[in-house]
Structure 1
Amino acid sequence: MTFRLGRPTMRTTRRGFLGGTTAGLAMTGPVVSARGRPNTVPIRKIATEEAFATPALAKAWLEIARTDPKASLDVPTGILSIFDNPRPGSNQDRFRRQLLDLDGERLADMDQAGVDVQVLSVTIPGVQMFEPAAASAFAIATNDHLAAAISRHPRRFAGLACFAPHDPIRATLEMERAVNRLGLNGFIVNSHTGDLYLDDPRFAPILEAAQALDRPIYLHPRAPSNGMAAPFRDYSMGGSIWGFGVEAGTHAVRLILSGVFDRYPRLRIVLGHMGEALPFWMWRLDHMAARRARDGRMKPLALAPSEYFRRNFAVTTSGFESPDLLDLVLKSAGNENVMWAVDYPYESSHDAVAFIEGVSLTGAQRASIFHRNAERLFRLK
């Protein structure tokens, strides 16, 4: 499929702020006041994995949770049932309220924590649980909902578009519309679709479109696919405690080992949660991939897995506040490929800010993580 791009139409309104009125916030060192005393200019903070939902999606997810609770491991993780009249004052009640809010409470939380911009993306499981036609319709409506929120608050929000991977032709049309007409900044895929992963050849038009549009795909976790779900059903292992990261990390390794990045060398994938454990595994991935290529068990790749990781991936800090992990991620991904995130509303904006402000980094590293890498990758300048 040859993918032709249209002319972007909505960049000036949404990005004029980012390149102009807040340019001073990109400064990270002291400046001199009119009275000759040094002042510290606050560093700009762009949070890159911030979830939202729409009332229509919440209603449809809840219907699945009530009528077919065994359809997906997403149901017992509780992510769908938070919309089912949760107990007032509970975390689930707060999640429901804050996911649906794209105005007052969310902006107040950002202001209190010092977050300048949220890059919004639809929460798991997105549109991918629905049949292809319904999923495509939900994607269009959800992206319109997102674009409307950004238009109300262009200085505070950017956004990642969802689409229905199991309808690849409609997906590529929606990807082009999202970038060129709605002015969105990339794409969100909530891991597997129908127990398939993006290395499957039927998804090739989607990868081609993302490369042609020069926008990244944020590969976000969801509960493990049915093919690997059984061991995760006990002990609440299917969600963020373990299953989410295993699922997304497995998806990313499939992309690397399948040769996807040899076919699409400019494709960019974003992984949250400090890289979904890939930085820890990188030496062994290199070691075993080389061994399997030598003995014929795997098709040789043009690069080592670690080289694809630095070239084709970016990593966000969402939901992880460990200095040791951040140091490992910076070494494996490279400083230019690490972005800050909160994972709002599931994690605390205040704590996420305090983590990067308090960890031992150079001024240039802190600025890159807080805003510069996001500005470049998501075209926020």
Structure 2
Amino acid sequence: MDRRKFLESSSALLSAAALGAAAAPGADAAPAPGRKYRLVATEEAFSIPEQVEVFQQCKKTLWHDPDVEQWAIFLGQAALMGRLLDVDHERLSIMDKAGVDVHVLSLTSPGVQLPDADTATSLATIANDRLAEMIQRHPTRYAGLASFAPQDPARAAKEIDRAINKLKLNGLIVNSHTNAEYLDDRKFWPIFEAATAVDAAIYIHPRNPPAPAAQYLKADVNLWAAIWGYQQETGLHAMRLIISGIFDEFPKLKIVLGHAGEAVPYWLYRMDYMYANAAAGIYKSVSGRKLKRKPSDYVKDNFYITTSGMNDHAVLRYNHGVLGPDHILFAIDYPYQESVEAANFMNAAPLPEADVEKIAHGNAEKIFRVKPAG
């Protein structure tokens, strides 16, 4: 039995309970009137039984991995797992209650990035096929970001092309490092070549840092995961891309960061100052040459950020001032954060209405090609 058939067959225990084949009556109805803006939420997690099965297998061999340890906790939380595995019932009801029009779905972290290359590639294919089916069942409520397996960059590039051109998915997602390797490594360039060829933005979603860094976060203070470890890890990944010169090689590459940019926008002045004033040659690009532009220029031109998990108007105003309204997208981080709170935050945003329209839905329609209303 090949890996794909194994993954599909081994999911039977979970699929009956969690993945309904038909939508609940009325679940596709438009959100109730009264909210101010059309809301397209762009970092909304889902799972499939095959992914859960892979995590169960990884527990046997990668028990020391911080993401495996975290998933062992998740697997014991029935309500959370139910929400991750459901796209036809409760999720739609929660969206309606909050007045959220669209979820841009993505396979929950760490996606396909734990197992070996063959298993990861098969899981990405299955997940993308399932995602396309979810969107087909609820075309006005869902869009989706395709998974790919960085463990095999050549096959990842092929899956990117298939997911965007054949399945018509809306963008790409990767969960930061893979086996403690980051995408600035030249061996991953086929991924960037494929993404730019199909004009697909890559959402870099957090995961726990690799060991031993994760141990310093977790050992005595429990600062791993979303309280601090995620933003530290993903911000590092973004900075590696910037300083490595990736955007000189791929000037049209679009990168999306969640959680208000993983703190990267806050550091623009300092990164420019230090890059310009540091000893010659201390910061090395992949080409060995100096960057063509200031680090902040790449952030402002090649990066987009979302509001996922950062329902703070002071932070929103800051990022609006630094990046402008065209580079910020609304997100919730479902099911890990509350939908109503996020929707209320967006509807009450203290910004010009035209700018809020862009953040609430317009930028997602542009960057992720989400279908506009009507």
For each residue in 1:28-74, what CA deviation from the matched residue of structure 2 results, as whole angstroms up to 9, or x when unmatched? xxxxxxxxxxx98842110000000001111211232355320x111
For each residue in 1:151-183, what CA deviation from the matched residue of structure 2 results, as whole angstroms up to 9, or x when unmatched? 000010000000101101110110000011101
Q: Distance in 2 between matches of 1:57 and 1:80?
A: 13
Q: Distance in 2 between matches of 1:151 and 1:191?
A: 28
Q: What amino acid is the match of 2:44?
A: E
1:182 paired to 2:167? yes
For each residue in 1:187-237, what CA deviation from the matched residue of structure 2 results, as whole angstroms up to 9, or x when unmatched? 000000110000000000001111111010000000001252231122221
- Residues 157-306 of structure 1: matches in 2 within 5 Å? 157-234=142-219, 235-292=221-278, 295-298=280-283, 299-306=289-296
Q: Distance in 1 between matches of 2:94 and 2:71?
A: 22
Could you tell me whether the CA contact under 8 Å between 1:191 and 1:197 is conserved in 2? yes
Two-structure CA RMSD over aligned residues (Å)? 1.7
- The one of 315, 332, 355 aligned to 2:345: 355
* Aligned-partner SS, 2:81: helix
Q: Distance in 2 between matches of 1:80 and 1:145?
A: 24
Q: Distance in 1 between matches of 2:140 and 2:198?
A: 23
Q: Distance in 2 between matches of 1:75 and 1:291?
A: 41
TM-superposed CA distance for 1:321, in Å, is 1.0
Q: What amino acid is the match of 1:377?
A: I
TM-superposed CA distance for 1:129, in Å, is 0.5
TM-superposed CA distance for 1:361, in Å, is 1.2
Q: Distance in 1 between matches of 2:52 and 2:119?
A: 14
* Aligned-partner SS, 2:256: strand
For each residue in 1:234-257, what CA deviation from the matched residue of structure 2 results, as whole angstroms up to 9, or x when unmatched? 222110010011000000000000
TM-superposed CA distance for 1:310, in Å, is 0.9
**Counterpart of 2:123?**
138
1:376/1:232 Cα in 2 relative to 1: closer, same or farther (>3 Å)? Answer: same
Q: What amino acid is the match of 1:350?
A: V
Q: Distance in 2 between matches of 1:282 and 1:230?
A: 29
Q: What amino acid is the match of 2:360?
A: F
Could you tell me whether the CA contact under 8 Å between 1:58 and 1:80 is conserved in 2? no
1:365 paired to 2:355? yes
Could you tell me whether the CA contact under 8 Å between 2:37 and 2:347 is conserved in 1? no
Could you tell me whether the CA contact under 8 Å between 2:349 and 2:356 is conserved in 1? no
**Counterpart of 1:34?**
none
Q: What amino acid is the match of 1:81?
A: I
TM-score, with length taken from structure 2: 0.86
Q: Distance in 2 between matches of 1:244 and 1:165?
A: 19
* Aligned-partner SS, 1:330: helix
1:82 paired to 2:68? no
TM-superposed CA distance for 1:340, in Å, is 0.3
Q: What amino acid is the match of 1:73?
A: P
TM-score, with length taken from structure 1: 0.85
**Counterpart of 2:300?**
310
- The runs of 5 or more residues in structure 2 that have no matched partner are 1-30, 284-288
Could you tell me whether the CA contact under 8 Å between 1:160 and 1:185 is conserved in 2? yes
TM-superposed CA distance for 1:75, in Å, is 2.7
TM-superposed CA distance for 1:337, in Å, is 0.4
TM-superposed CA distance for 1:313, in Å, is 0.4
- The one of 138, 151, 155 aligned to 2:140: 155
Could you tell me whether the CA contact under 8 Å between 2:55 and 2:71 is conserved in 1? no
**Counterpart of 1:107?**
92
Q: Distance in 2 between matches of 1:312 and 1:248?
A: 16
Q: Distance in 2 between matches of 1:240 and 1:208?
A: 31
Deviates further, 268-277 or 222-231: 222-231
Runs of 4+ in 1 over 6 A off after TM superposition: none
Could you tell me whether the CA contact under 8 Å between 1:62 and 1:81 is conserved in 2? no
Deviates further, 259-268 or 278-287: 278-287
Q: Distance in 2 between matches of 1:80 and 1:330?
A: 38
Q: Distance in 1 between matches of 2:62 and 2:115?
A: 12
TM-superposed CA distance for 1:140, in Å, is 0.2
**Counterpart of 2:316?**
326
* Aligned-partner SS, 2:227: coil
Could you tell me whether the CA contact under 8 Å between 1:223 and 1:238 is conserved in 2? yes
Q: Distance in 1 between matches of 2:276 and 2:59?
A: 44
Q: Distance in 2 between matches of 1:315 and 1:116?
A: 20
Could you tell me whether the CA contact under 8 Å between 2:308 and 2:332 is conserved in 1? yes
- Residues 17-32 of structure 1: matches in 2 within 5 Å? none
TM-superposed CA distance for 1:79, in Å, is 3.1
